């Protein structure tokens, strides 16, 4: 770099205001003028593993709560012993074009065996309802409720006669409880009944003393036991309790503390004691006042939430209640995009914290015993999408539950690797559940898909790529990545038709498209990426030299991406179906979340992705649209990316801003957050690109705290569609190459140092 340029950058740093942390200065509230009638109007709170939906009805205030370890079933090994015997036959049938026979054989001999003897996995379950009954409060006026993303507190306020009633509720991670304060602004005016109900048959609710209500039971169709304890403290007045609930009479204020626990210890053991766990939680809370509990909650939450701030500008549209803004979303309401971006981060903090289960198809929130797709973990897109924003937006810790689940899956999946494929390592198919089912489920035509575990390994590598945490790489990530790689080294087969003798995947499928096949493109992209990432990890750690070489050689032999008859990217190695508008666009994995296709590095393949997306159209489920936000951002087309965001918001979002598949499925929330981040910053380990896909709908704004591969924190400010300044702080990375449009800046940064560049820095050669 020339001295003149270095000077310019330093000067730029002095003379241009740093895009300082975008503080939580905007109102980041979802707010409404009426109570929730439907579940998807209620507002979610959660501390990772324990959470609730807050309805906010004045006369009937329902708080429907969940614990993420309540699943039907019990510990179980789903593998199909001896299935590997049929693997050669499955491959032979497929290569001979006998797909129906392969499906039949697969369904008969290759699928999971559940406790019930079928090929299904188990379902996530609701816990209970806390029901508040306020006699006479159906005559309410001046109603307001919100969820404030700045402090993760849901508030309900209304008047009855001349008394204003206020409820505040939050789910505390440090105190492991749902805490609610209910107050009246006139003394002695608080009268209500707090009861609990539960959908699981044989569950019981019992009162103890004047202030405690205990709900206990066992998951119906399962063996897991649970207990919930509601403790009521009052200021003024008195409490009278019975099994029907705790009655609060003539109080000024009441504080409700709800804890819950199950007997789930780990995926093999459900012998924990829920009563003891609840008591431990209540004892730890002890005499802590509401104010202290609230402060501790806010401090804990903000430490995560405030790491990334976004400001896209605000207009009068923000004065409308959230539900009224949704359908009209467009460039006139950029703040709704900000709110949606931050809501994704809020939801991840609320449903995935160290010690909790990973975010399932509904995150943590579920009121049904028979939820859509069992609200388990579908890892042919949905589970991974849940975690796309984790590293990008500074929530690395929220990634940990997924990594813990991968440790379990590597054990359960090793049995599947051996029994179904006679292979080393471990494998996970397209779904898993609390019991870590890793074998194929439902139907051979989509259940025999081998790349779930390999895809999730990409997240392990990301953690290292973004944070540079070598201890994590050594102790946690690498052993899992290596095990996944060993599986595929044994599993891949040589193509016999072409002279190149490419390695291909199969039997497998292109998720939910075209049935069981040999050679789906997505598998090849995922496995290639796994091999390369594993080799890089080994190199970083200075281990397994021979394996490194072998992995790179094999990665180079995997069937490459191909362009099809209409100029689209081919979805399968041997065949194509370019005209479909199907929601799954799996073969564009290499464009996003993979890094092997990009307009600057592989322009022909990127063009083929663009053609594919044009052929597929802009429709789809919530998650499909959310993926397309990311795809178009990677294609550097900000306006199309924004169009997909608008389609998702206007067409696939419920009043509480939950993504609608339909029905509710949380992945689209996280996919949208990631997509907005990808419009503003992309990094591939070689370059950090600033404003790569800035939509014209976001002409001016600022973002702070985005993370880039290599170990950097990036703040960006822009105006009238042009960069004003970018601040890059090193978290360990030292030599970033920073791109803005077609110009790059090569920097040297010391660890923890920040360098600030303005637009002119990119204009100098």
Pick 557 or 584: Cβ nearer ligand FUC: 584
Pick 385 or 591: Cβ nearer ligand FUC: 385
Residue 476 DSSP label:
I
Share of the chain residues as helix, strand and coil, in percent rounded to the nearest 5: 35, 25, 40
What is the nearest approach in angstroms of ligand FUC to the Cβ of residue 671?
Answer: 11
What is the nearest approach in angstroms of ligand FUC to the Cβ of residue 592?
Answer: 17
- Give residues 497-526 in contact with ligand FUC (rule: CB under 6 A): 512
What is the nearest approach in angstroms of ligand FUC to the Cβ of residue 111?
Answer: 16
What is the nearest approach in angstroms of ligand FUC to the Cβ of residue 716?
Answer: 33
User: Is residue 665 a contact point for ligand FUC (CB under 6 A)?
Assistant: yes
User: Is residue 382 a contact point for ligand FUC (CB under 6 A)?
Assistant: yes
Residue 616 Ramachandran class (φ > 0 left, ψ -120 to 50 alpha, else beta) = alpha
User: Is residue 388 a contact point for ligand FUC (CB under 6 A)?
Assistant: no
- Give residues 578-617 in contact with ligand FUC (rule: CB under 6 A): none
Pick 360 or 656: Cβ nearer ligand FUC: 360
User: Is residue 375 a contact point for ligand FUC (CB under 6 A)?
Assistant: no
Among 20, 8, 1, CA closest to 754: 20
Among 157, 252, 135, 241, CA closest to 195: 241
What is the nearest approach in angstroms of ligand FUC to the Cβ of residue 545?
Answer: 40
Q: Are 627 and 673 in contact (CB under 8 A)?
A: no
Pick 293 or 585: Cβ nearer ligand FUC: 585
Pick 512 or 571: Cβ nearer ligand FUC: 512
User: Is residue 448 a contact point for ligand FUC (CB under 6 A)?
Assistant: no
Q: Distance (Å, rounded) from C-alpha 478 to C-alpha 504?
A: 24
Q: Distance (Å, rounded) from C-alpha 364 to C-alpha 70?
A: 10
Q: Distance (Å, rounded) from C-alpha 465 to C-alpha 471?
A: 13
Structure tokens at 271: 């012998």
What is the nearest approach in angstroms of ligand FUC to the Cβ of residue 355?
Answer: 25
Pick 362 or 758: Cβ nearer ligand FUC: 362
Which of 66, 378, 396, 669: binder of ligand FUC (CB under 6 A)?
378
Which ranges of 652-694 would DSSP assign to H, the alpha helix? 667-680
What is the nearest approach in angstroms of ligand FUC to the Cβ of residue 244?
Answer: 39
Sign for the pseudo-dihedral over CA of 529, 530, 532, 537: positive
| DSSP secondary structure of 377-435 | EETTTHHHHHTHHHHHTT-GGGGHHHHHHHHHHHHHHHHHHHHHH--SS----SEE-TT
Structure tokens at 444: 């051979």
Residue 306 DSSP label:
T
Pick 481 or 661: Cβ nearer ligand FUC: 661
What is the nearest approach in angstroms of ligand FUC to the Cβ of residue 407?
Answer: 24
Which of 112, 191, 621, 683: binder of ligand FUC (CB under 6 A)?
621
Pick 120 or 610: Cβ nearer ligand FUC: 120
Structure tokens at 56: 């906010």
What is the nearest approach in angstroms of ligand FUC to the Cβ of residue 361?
Answer: 5
Q: Are 417 and 702 in contact (CB under 8 A)?
A: no
What is the nearest approach in angstroms of ligand FUC to the Cβ of residue 724?
Answer: 40
Residue 118 Ramachandran class (φ > 0 left, ψ -120 to 50 alpha, else beta) = beta
Pick 194 or 644: Cβ nearer ligand FUC: 644
Residue 179 Ramachandran class (φ > 0 left, ψ -120 to 50 alpha, else beta) = beta
Pick 386 or 665: Cβ nearer ligand FUC: 665
Residue 85 DSSP label:
G
What is the nearest approach in angstroms of ligand FUC to the Cβ of residue 445?
Answer: 12
What is the nearest approach in angstroms of ligand FUC to the Cβ of residue 80?
Answer: 21
Which ranges of 635-702 would DSSP assign to H, the alpha helix? 638-651, 667-680
Pick 181 or 382: Cβ nearer ligand FUC: 382
| DSSP secondary structure of 131-196 | EEE-TTTTS-EEEEEEEETTTTEEEEEEEETTEEEEEEEEEETTTTEEEEEEEESSTT-EEEEEEE
What is the nearest approach in angstroms of ligand FUC to the Cβ of residue 68?
Answer: 17
Please identify which residue in the block is written with the tokens 């950097």: 712
Q: Are 253 and 61 in contact (CB under 8 A)?
A: no
Note the maximum CA span of the chain: 86
Pick 325 or 430: Cβ nearer ligand FUC: 430
Pick 69 or 362: Cβ nearer ligand FUC: 362
Q: Distance (Å, rounded) from C-alpha 750 to C-alpha 171?
A: 39
Which of 158, 226, 264, 373: binder of ligand FUC (CB under 6 A)?
373
What is the nearest approach in angstroms of ligand FUC to the Cβ of residue 653?
Answer: 16
What is the nearest approach in angstroms of ligand FUC to the Cβ of residue 584?
Answer: 6
Pick 294 or 446: Cβ nearer ligand FUC: 446
Q: Which helix (H) or strand (E) holds 7?
A: helix 3-15
Which of 257, 312, 661, 726: binder of ligand FUC (CB under 6 A)?
661
Q: Which helix (H) or strand (E) holds 552?
A: helix 545-557
Pick 164 or 443: Cβ nearer ligand FUC: 443
User: Is residue 366 a contact point for ligand FUC (CB under 6 A)?
Assistant: no
Residue in the shown chain whose Cβ atom is closest to ligand FUC: 373
Query: How many chain residues bind ligand FUC (CB under 6 A)?
Result: 9
Q: Distance (Å, rounded) from C-alpha 379 to C-alpha 586?
A: 12
User: Is residue 361 a contact point for ligand FUC (CB under 6 A)?
Assistant: yes
Residues that bind ligand FUC (CB under 6 A): 361, 373, 378, 382, 512, 621, 623, 661, 665
């Amino acid at each position: 770099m020339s001295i003149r340029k270095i000077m310019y950058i330093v000067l730029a740093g002095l003379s241009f205001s740093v895009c300082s942390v975008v503080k939580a200065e905007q109102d980041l509230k979802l707010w409404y003028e009426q109570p929730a009638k439907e579940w998807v109007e209620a507002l979610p709170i959660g501390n990772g593993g324990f959470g609730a939906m807050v309805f906010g009805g004045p006369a009937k205030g329902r708080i429907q709560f969940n614990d993420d370890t309540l699943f039907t079933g019990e510990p179980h090994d789903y593998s199909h012993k001896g299935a590997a015997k049929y693997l050669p036959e499955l491959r032979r049938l497929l290569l001979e074009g006998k797909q129906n026979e392969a499906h039949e054989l697969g369904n008969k001999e290759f699928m999971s065996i559940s406790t019930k003897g079928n090929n299904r996995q188990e379902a996530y379950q609701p816990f209970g309802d806390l029901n508040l009954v306020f006699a006479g409060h159906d005559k309410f006026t001046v109603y307001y409720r919100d969820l404030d993303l700045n402090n993760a507190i849901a508030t309900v306020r209304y008047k009855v006669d001349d008394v204003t009633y206020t409820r505040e509720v939050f789910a505390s991670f440090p105190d492991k409880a749902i805490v609610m304060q209910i107050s009246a602004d006139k003394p002695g005016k608080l009268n209500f009944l707090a009861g609990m109900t539960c959908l699981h048959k044989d569950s019981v609710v019992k009162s103890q003393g004047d202030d405690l209500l205990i709900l206990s039971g066992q998951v119906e169709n399962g063996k897991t036991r649970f207990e919930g304890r509601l403790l009521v403290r009052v200021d003024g007045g008195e409490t009278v309790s019975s099994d029907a609930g705790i009655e609060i009479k003539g109080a000024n204020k009441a504080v409700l503390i709800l804890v819950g626990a199950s007997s789930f210890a780990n995926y093999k053991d459900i012998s924990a004691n829920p009563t003891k766990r609840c008591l431990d939680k209540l004892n730890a809370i002890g005499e802590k006042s509401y104010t202290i509990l609230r402060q501790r909650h806010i401090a804990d939450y903000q430490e995560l939430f405030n790491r990334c701030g976004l400001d896209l500008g605000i207009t009068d549209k923000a004065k409308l209640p959230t539900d009224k803004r949704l359908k009209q979303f467009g460039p006139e309401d950029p703040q709704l995009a900000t709110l949606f971006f931050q809501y994704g981060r809020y939801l991840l903090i609320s449903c995935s914290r160290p010690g909790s289960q990973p975010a399932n198809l509904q995150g943590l929130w579920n009121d049904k015993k028979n939820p859509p797709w069992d609200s388990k973990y579908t890892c042919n897109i949905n589970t991974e999408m849940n975690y796309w924003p984790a590293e990008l937006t500074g929530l690395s810790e929220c990634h940990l539950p997924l990594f813990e689940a991968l440790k379990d899956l590597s054990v359960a999946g090793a049995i599947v690797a051996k029994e179904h494929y006679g292979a080393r390592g471990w494998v996970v198919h397209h779904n898993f559940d609390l019991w870590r089912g890793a074998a194929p489920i439902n139907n051979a035509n989509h259940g025999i898909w081998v790349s779930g575990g390999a895809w999730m390994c990409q997240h392990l590598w990301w953690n290292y790529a973004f944070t540079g945490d070598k201890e994590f790489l050594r102790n946690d990530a690498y052993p899992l990545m290596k095990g996944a790689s060993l599986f595929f080294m044994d599993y891949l087969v040589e193509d016999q038709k072409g002279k190149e003798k490419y390695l291909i995947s199969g039997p497998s499928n292109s998720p939910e498209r075209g049935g069981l096949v040999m050679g789906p493109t997505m598998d090849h992209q995922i496995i290639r990426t796994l091999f390369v990432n594993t080799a890089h990890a080994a190199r970083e750690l200075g281990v397994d030299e021979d394996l490194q070489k072998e992995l790179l050689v094999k990665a180079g032999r995997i069937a490459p991406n191909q362009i099809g008859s209409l100029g689209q990217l081919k979805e399968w190695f041997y065949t194509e179906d370019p005209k479909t508008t199907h929601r799954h666009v799996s073969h564009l994995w290499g464009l996003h979340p993979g890094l092997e296709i990009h307009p600057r590095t592989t322009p022909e393949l990127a063009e083929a992705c663009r053609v594919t997306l044009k052929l597929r159209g802009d429709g789809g489920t919530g998650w499909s649209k959310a993926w397309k936000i990311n795809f178009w951002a990677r294609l550097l087309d900000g306006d199309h990316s924004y169009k997909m965001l608008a389609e998702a918001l206007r067409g696939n979002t419920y009043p509480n801003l939950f993504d609608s598949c339909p029905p509710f499925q949380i992945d689209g929330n996280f996919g949208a957050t990631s997509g907005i981040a990808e419009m503003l910053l992309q990094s591939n380990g070689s370059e950090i690109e600033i404003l790569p896909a800035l939509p014209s709908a976001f002409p001016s704004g600022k973002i702070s705290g985005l993370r880039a591969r290599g170990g950097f924190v990036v703040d960006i400010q822009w105006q009238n569609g042009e960069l004003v300044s970018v601040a890059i702080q090193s978290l360990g990375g030292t030599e970033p190459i920073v791109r803005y449009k077609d110009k790059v800046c090569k920097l040297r940064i010391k660890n923890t140092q920040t360098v600030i560049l303005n637009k002119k820095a990119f204009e100098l050669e």
